[in-house]
Amino acid sequence: MSEIDFLLVLNDVVLVLEIKGGRLARRDGLWTFTDRYGEVHEKREGPFEQARTAMFAIEADLRRRIPGLGVAFGSVVITPDQALAPDLEWEPVEHLGPGSMTVAALGAGLTAAARHWRDRSRHTLGRSQYQDLVKALRPDFDRVPRLSLLASVFETDFVQLAAAQYDMLRGAEVNPRLLCTGGAGSGKTLLAVESARRAALGGETVLLTCRSPGVMDLMSRSLGDTSVDCIEWSQTAGHGPYDVVLVDEAQDILNTDDCLQLDELVSGGIREGRWRLFCDPNNQANVGGVFDRQTFDELGSSAAQFQLPYNCRNTSAIVQQTQLITGADLGVAKAGAGPAVEYVQPHSDTDTAALLDARLKRLRQEEIDLSEVVVVTLRDTASASSAVQTKAYSRGALTDQPRQSSTSGPAGAARLVTTRGFKGLEAAHVLVVDVDEVESDLAMARLYVAMTRPRVSLWIAVGPRAWAQLSSANGGKQ
């Protein structure tokens, strides 16, 4: 084994560069090296012998790898801090000292060294084999890790970040009424679950509710070992009153009618009772319920308000693209860079289906289990989606059947869902289809929901009309 500081590859010469900073000395054949910190190291092998040893080693290896290699090999020792007197151990051209530490002088010195070793070569020098050398020394390879490997890294980070979000909220729990706001992926559901758990451990009657059946299922399974009542909002009439009421996805109930129902569920009513609302007043409001800004402001005036500043679900690439397209504030991304968001431009449903099949095939090649993949349609129903025209759908590799759990579909199959059915949930890989237009508030709200669901990768198929609208909104720079 030999160590090479720098390897300079020219068309017909390969130069090993040995760099020795600090002070050098040789006494009785023993070399001493004093570094910038004053530490002294002793070696029997000097820098010129070290450079030549490495030169012979790399030459032998490359000639074995590239038969008929027609290049010369040489070595140069550079001492930027000290000039060395002429010596029998090296030719003057094989050494560059402080006087060569300019661009012009360094170039001239290396050119002279290359000429010196070219003249001394015992091998016939042929045509330029630069590409062969670079391929052997620094071969190109795919530097992007598989998505299947990225996912495990991100999953660990997400759990740690979400836990940190909860630590930030604990100081606010002394308030009887709390309005917690944050963008998608800011950890609101985790905070709602843990707040409910703590309230129940204190011996209080607790209700945790929201409109989304999928989110409700996720939360109820998380609290299965507690006394918390986990009831979907549409089923809460006639229950209570409770000591503490917590509502996740609360933007769906911030209207007069639903707040009258909330008033009956909490002991003491909205004004005097204890409640905690976790909501995202961004673009997803009105996707699964009715959001009234005046009601939001009135509730906020009677409660302690807490804003979650970080996004701990989405990668920075997803956060950036969502903010650029929807204008929503997702907070500061803390989950790492992640793969770039991919856009395609199908011209018809048939095009979309073909591109979706290709994307699903690519994910399988990346060793992604399709049960970790969700296809989100922005249309009203899954049956109206272009995704039902895919080969994957016809073979059962993509299904719109009910989930086996709130986080995965049938084994080995991707799920096809609407934004309403997927709001509040998440998946490792999300594919968004049927982006037909984005000018209406509902269309933009659905796009916001879809874009903020993935933990690792996001792929979006944008139709011609929507693409033109996005391009126009961005000054033609889409």
Q: Is residue 233 part of a domain?
A: yes
Q: Is 467 helix (H, G, I), strand (E, B) or coil?
A: helix
Pick the last residue of a domain from 308, 338, 372: 308
Considering Cα of 281, then 283, then 288, then 292, what sign does the dihedral take? positive
> Which pLDDT score, from 0 to 100, does residue 409 have?
45
> Which pLDDT score, from 0 to 100, does residue 387 have?
95
Q: Are residues 187 and 217 in the same domain?
A: yes
- Rounded to two decimals, the pTM is 0.55
Q: Are residues 32 and 54 in the same domain?
A: yes
Q: Is residue 1 part of a domain?
A: no
Asked if residue 95 lies in contact with residue 83, where contact means CB atoms within 8 angstroms, the answer is no
Q: What is the DSSP letter of 374?
A: E
Structure tokens at 374: 């969700």
Q: Are residues 217 and 91 in the same domain?
A: no
Q: Are residues 95 and 53 in the same domain?
A: yes
Q: Are residues 346 and 298 in the same domain?
A: no
Q: Is residue 156 part of a domain?
A: no
Q: Are residues 326 and 298 in the same domain?
A: no
Q: Are residues 304 and 371 in the same domain?
A: no
326-328-333 Cα angle (round to 5)? 115
Provide the strand spans (E) within 44-94. Answer: 72-78
The position carrying tokens 């670079």 is: 134
> How far is 196 from 218, CA to CA, in rounded Å?
14
Q: Is residue 393 part of a domain?
A: yes
Q: Are residues 433 and 302 in the same domain?
A: no
> How far is 17 from 22, CA to CA, in rounded Å?
16
Q: Are residues 186 and 278 in the same domain?
A: yes
pLDDT one digit per residue (tens) for the chain, 478 residues? 778 999 999 888 999 999 988 888 888 888 888 877 678 888 888 899 999 999 999 999 998 888 888 899 999 999 998 888 888 888 999 999 999 999 999 999 999 999 999 999 887 776 678 888 888 888 765 554 555 555 555 555 555 555 556 655 665 567 888 888 887 777 788 888 888 888 898 889 999 999 888 888 888 888 888 999 999 999 998 898 999 999 998 888 888 888 999 999 999 999 899 999 988 876 554 555 677 888 888 888 888 888 877 766 677 788 888 888 887 766 666 556 678 899 999 999 999 999 999 999 999 888 888 988 999 999 999 999 999 999 999 999 999 886 554 444 455 799 999 988 887 678 889 999 999 999 888 888 889 888 888 888 899 999 999 999 888 866 544 4
Q: Is residue 142 part of a domain?
A: no
> Which pLDDT score, from 0 to 100, does residue 328 have?
72
Pick the last residue of a domain from 308, 326, 343: 308
Asked if residue 429 lies in contact with residue 406, where contact means CB atoms within 8 angstroms, the answer is no
Q: Which has the closest alpha carbon to 69: 80, 81, 84, 58?
A: 58
Question: Who contacts 162 (Cβ-Cβ below 8 Å, separation ≥6)?
Answer: 187, 190, 312
> How far is 339 from 15, CA to CA, in rounded Å?
38
Q: Are residues 296 and 337 in the same domain?
A: no
The position carrying tokens 């409640």 is: 275
For residue 217, the surrounding DSSP H or E stretch is: helix 213-222
Q: Is residue 447 part of a domain?
A: yes
> How far is 323 from 346, CA to CA, in rounded Å?
23
Write phi, then psi, for 222 (nearest 5 degrees).
-70, -25
Asked if residue 142 lies in contact with residue 365, where contact means CB atoms within 8 angstroms, the answer is no
Q: What CATH number does the domain containing 223 carry?
A: 3.40.50.300
Instruction: Using CA atoms of 221, 227, 228, 231 in order, give the dihedral in degrees to the nearest 10.
Output: 70
User: How remote is the C-alpha of 340 from its chain's centroid?
Assistant: 8
392: left (phi over 0), alpha (psi -120 to 50) or beta: alpha
Residues spanned by the domain of 83? 6-137
Buried b / exposed e along 34-52 (16+ C-beta atoms within 10 A): beeeeeeeeeeebbbbbbb
Work out how many domains the chain is built from and give that number: 3
> Which pLDDT score, from 0 to 100, does residue 478 have?
47
Pick the last residue of a domain from 281, 308, 335: 308
Q: Are residues 38 and 132 in the same domain?
A: yes
> How far is 339 from 287, CA to CA, in rounded Å?
28
Q: Is residue 92 part of a domain?
A: yes
Q: Are residues 22 and 85 in the same domain?
A: yes
Q: Is residue 298 part of a domain?
A: yes
